[in-house]
């Protein structure tokens, strides 16, 4: 089974990209709301809200990773598994970025904009497909791929913060719900 999956180092690099993007969004939203909560919630309560939010992030990031791993297992190795860091990163950025764009457009223009809110995310997904399909024989594409791989590698440093944080909030929430 494991032979269908990419190497663990590659998985970690892609996971770092996913987790950093999702957590960056959540933490920004958290800071935006914090001033209002300070009026009525104490520090313990604010941490509890944060813990549930980070737990949601953990679940979401694992779902995205699982999707990529499933694709890796199902597709021919030369299409995805052998280029997991680059293609997984492009796909992660494409999926999470499109969701960000979708929600951000609603935040800017409101639900009344209707289906026009979908234009941005769909364009993002098309761009992702194009990037995935670019053949590496062009120098610019090779440069792009190496830049993406470098970025994914650099982002793994955040896992030293995020993984312990996920474990702490997981234990905290589990304790609250069991106790």
Partner 1 sequence: MSRINRRDFLKLYAALLAGAAFSGASPLLSSAHSQNSDKPNILIFVFDAMSARHLSLYGYARKTTPNLEKFAERASVYHRHYAGGNFTTTGTASMLTGMYPWTHRAFNYRGMIDRGLTDRNLFNLIGKEYTRAAFTQNLWADILLSQFEADLDFHLPCDSYSQFADSLMQPHALRADRDLAYYVFQDFLNLRVDDPHPYPGSLFLASADLSRALASDRHHISADYPKGLPTNHDFSYENPGVLQGIGRLVQGSLLQSSPYLGYFHFWSPHEPYNARKDFVGIFPNDLKAQVKHRHSHSASNYSEASLRKYRREYDEFIADLDAEFGRLLSELEKSGVLQNSYVIVTSDHGELFERGELGHASALMYDPVTHIPLLISAPGQTARSDFHSLTSNVDLLPTLLQIAGREIPSWSEGRILPGFGKADDPSRSLFPMVAKDNPAFQPIQHGTFTLIKGVYELFFFTGYPGHPDAFELYNLQEDPDELNDLYKKDITTASQMKDELLEAVSTANRNYQKK
Q: Please check whether residue 121 is in contact with residue 101, taking contact to mean a CB–CB distance below 8 angstroms.
A: yes
Instruction: Out of 8, 32, 133, 137, name the contact with partner 1 by CB under 8 A.
Output: 32
> Per CB under 8 A, does 82 bind partner 1?
no
Nearer to partner 1, 82 or 106 (CB): 106
> Per CB under 8 A, does 2 bind partner 1?
no
CA–CA separation, 87 vs 63, rounded Å? 17
CA–CA separation, 101 vs 128, rounded Å? 14
> Per CB under 8 A, does 170 bind partner 1?
no
Q: Please check whether residue 170 is in contact with residue 58, taking contact to mean a CB–CB distance below 8 angstroms.
A: yes
> Per CB under 8 A, does 177 bind partner 1?
yes
Nearer to partner 1, 22 or 155 (CB): 22
CA–CA separation, 169 vs 153, rounded Å? 25
- Residue 174: how many CB atoms within 10 A of its CB? 11
CA–CA separation, 141 vs 125, rounded Å? 18
Q: How many CA atoms lie within 13 A of 130 on its CB side?
A: 6
> Per CB under 8 A, does 48 bind partner 1?
yes
Binding mask 114-153 for partner 1 (x = CB under 8 A): xx-xx-----------------------------------
Whose tokens are 């299409």? That residue is 79
> Per CB under 8 A, does 39 bind partner 1?
yes
The residues binding partner 1 (CB under 8 A) are 22, 25-26, 29-30, 32-33, 37-42, 45, 48-49, 52-53, 56-57, 60, 63, 96, 99-100, 102-103, 106-107, 111, 114-115, 117-118, 176-177
């Amino acid at each position: 089974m494991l032979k269908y999956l990419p190497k663990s180092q590659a998985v970690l690099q892609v996971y770092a990209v996913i987790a950093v993007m999702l957590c960056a969004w959540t933490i920004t939203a958290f800071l935006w709301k914090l001033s209002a909560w300070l009026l009525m919630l104490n520090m313990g309560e604010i941490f509890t809200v944060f813990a549930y939010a980070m737990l949601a992030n953990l679940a979401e990031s694992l779902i995205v990773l699982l999707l990529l791993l499933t694709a890796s297992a199902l597709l021919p190795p030369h299409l995805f598994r052998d280029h997991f860091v680059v293609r997984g990163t492009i796909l992660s950025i494409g999926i999470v970025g499109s969701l960000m764009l979708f929600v951000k457009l609603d935040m800017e223009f409101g639900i009344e904009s209707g289906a026009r809110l979908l234009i941005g995310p769909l364009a993002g997904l098309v761009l992702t497909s194009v990037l995935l399909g670019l053949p590496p024989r062009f120098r610019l594409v090779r440069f792009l791929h190496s830049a993406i791989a470098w970025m994914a590698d650099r982002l793994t440093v955040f896992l030293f913060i995020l993984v312990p944080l996920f474990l702490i909030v997981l234990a905290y929430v589990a304790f609250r719900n069991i106790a």
